[in-house]
Amino acid sequence: MARAVRREPADFGMDYVNLPEPSVTMAAGGGDEGNRSAPVKSDGQTSPTGPACSNETVKQEQLIKRYIQRGWVRFHSSVYYISFNRNTWQQSRRFCLQQGADLVIINTKEEQDFTRQFNRLTWLGLHNKTKTGNWTWVDGTPLTKSYWGPGEPNGFEGKMENCVEIRFFELENSWNDIPCGDENYWICEKEVAP
């Protein structure tokens, strides 16, 4: 699990960030592996795993370390920020974009399970604000695999519920549609590895 520390980010007043436990940091590539020399072909040119790839790997590891040092948590090929204050869907997304990320997009069952473990109502990067009226992710891709809770989405009591939250954390199908102007915690995601 992650522990929380107070920090004041720009434009959002008081906030909290996640500081991963040492085991999470180490699992995320916290050790320094240094530069590796590239294999050289018989014609004197470096192979595809040569310096360019090695430099890219080092840059990628440095990027991951920077996010983890700022309180993000690594899971598979992304790092995630789990907020400790609440905002509207749009304000939450603006925060993520300012961090070089966006609201989380659920691509796998494992990622769905990962996002439920924080046991708080959190915004996802899924909305129904398009002219077509279809649910789409913040990157513009349409929703194909969903984890809607029982009876969701439903536009409860005739409300315009165009944004999605994780509500039923104990269930794999945990999503709920609610008005985008409500305030929730949120999860940012930044892909850091292919």
Fold for domain 2-28+54-191? Mannose-Binding Protein A; Chain A (3.10.100)
CB 124 within 8 A of CB 104: yes
Residue 32 has a pLDDT of 33
CA-nearest of 38, 60, 184 to 123 is 184
Considering only residues 4 and 125, tell me which one the structure prediction assigns the higher pLDDT: 125
Two structure tokens written together for 139: 């990157």
What is the pTM for the complete model shown?
Answer: 0.69
CB 71 within 8 A of CB 18: yes
Q: What pLDDT, in 10s, does the model give residues 78-116?
A: 999 999 999 999 999 999 999 999 999 999 999 999 999
